[in-house]
Structure 1
Amino acid sequence: MKIYSFAKESGKSITAFNSNFIMSRIVQTEQAAHIGCMHLPENGVIGYHQAVVPQLLLIIEGEGYVRGEAAEYVPVQAWDAVFWEKDEWHETRTDSGLTAIVIESETLNPEAFMKMQQGRPL
């Protein structure tokens, strides 16, 4: 499991075409990708299972806990991006609720666009 950030501070200012915004790049795929939005209620759980393909979970609201194959949970919050490799066991939980975008594809490489968070236990 790896945790990245797609917060505003990790983005780049875009001014082309008279634009004025920050773009935090996340990922580019070379093969088909499945993209969905998960809405976990209070005490919600995405149960412990193996990733069928590489999976990137982008927390956009709320907070919770994730784990990989180790039994230790790591806290996550909005603007964290959690990456699991194919076949990696993982789980996501929340006490207060959480909304996340999930991207699944055989060719995910988040390191190409996002920096891994330093000082975070994995």
Structure 2
Amino acid sequence: MEFYSFNKANGIKITKFDSNFVMSRIVRTTNAAHIGYMYLEPKGIIGYHQATMPQLLLVISGEGLVRGESEEYYKIEPGTAVFWKKGEWHETKTEAGLNAIVIESEELNPSAYMPFTHRADE
């Protein structure tokens, strides 16, 4: 399980075409990718399971906890991206609720675009 950051501080200022915004790049794929938005209500859980393909969870709002194969949980909050390789066991839960985008694709390489923050020792 790897952690990355896509918060505003890691973005780049875009001014092309008279624009004025900050964009944090996340991933690029050339093959199929599944992208979804998850709504976890208070006390919500994404149960302990194996990743069927590489998965990237991007926390948009709220906060929660994730774990990999060990029973140690790690706090996640807006701007946190968590990456699981194919076959990795993992779980996500929240007391207060959280919303996140999930991207699944065989060719995910989050380190190409986002700063790596740490790896969970499992």
- Pair 1:66-2:69 in alignment: no
Query: 1:66-104 CA deviation, whole Å, 9 max, x = no partner?
Result: 011111000000110000000000000000000000000
Structure 2 counterpart of 1:109: 109
Between the aligned residues of both structures, percent identity stands at 60
SS in 1 for 2:117: coil
Name segments (4+ residues, structure 1) moved above 4 Å. Answer: none
Q: Secondary structure at the match of 1:117?
A: strand
- State the TM-score, normalized to the length of structure 1: 0.96
Tell me, in whole angstroms, the C-alpha distance in 1 between the residues paired with 2:91 and 2:120: 16
Match of 2:89 in 1: 89
Write the distance in 2 (CA, Å) between the matches of 1:50 and 1:121: 16
* 1:76 counterpart residue number: 76
DSSP-derived class of the 1:53 partner: coil
Q: 1:96 corresponds to which letter in structure 2? A: A
- 1:1-122 to structure 2, matched below 5 A, reads 1-117=1-117, 122=121
Summarize deviations over 1:2-27 as a string: whole Å, max 9, x none: 11110000000111111111010000
Unaligned runs of 5+ in 1: none
Q: Which runs of 5+ in 2 are unaligned?
A: none
1:121 CA displacement: 5.4
Q: Is the 8 A contact 2:2 2:120 kept in 1?
A: no
Cα 1:39–1:75 shift into 2, 3 Å: same
CA shift for structure 1 position 116:
1.1
How many residues get paired?
121
